[in-house]
Amino acid sequence: MLRHEFQPGRLVAGLFLTAAGVVYAGDAGGLWRTPWFVAVPLVVGGLCLAAVTGMVAQGVRRRRDSRPTTPGPRP
């Protein structure tokens, strides 16, 4: 099976969007009352945090890939 590259920004975005879905599912199920405007900061904040996480991960990945490789010690 081919493995894909880990993308933490997408993970963060997915977690926040899932949290927004759980909040509104709880409201629809009658477990609690959720005002309509709760989704805006939850989704926008999650997407902003995901963007920052993605940029940091890309910077780390780019810096790691640009390091020169040094050969190991010869026996």
pLDDT beneath 50: ranges in the chain = none
Unique residue bearing structure tokens 């490789």: 69
Q: In the structure encoding, which two tokens stand for residue 72, read together?
A: 């190991």
CA distance 15 to 42: 11
Q: What is the pLDDT of residue 3?
A: 85
% residues pLDDT > 90 (the chain): 68
| Furthest-apart CA atoms within the chain: distance in Å | 70
Name the pTM for this structure.
0.78
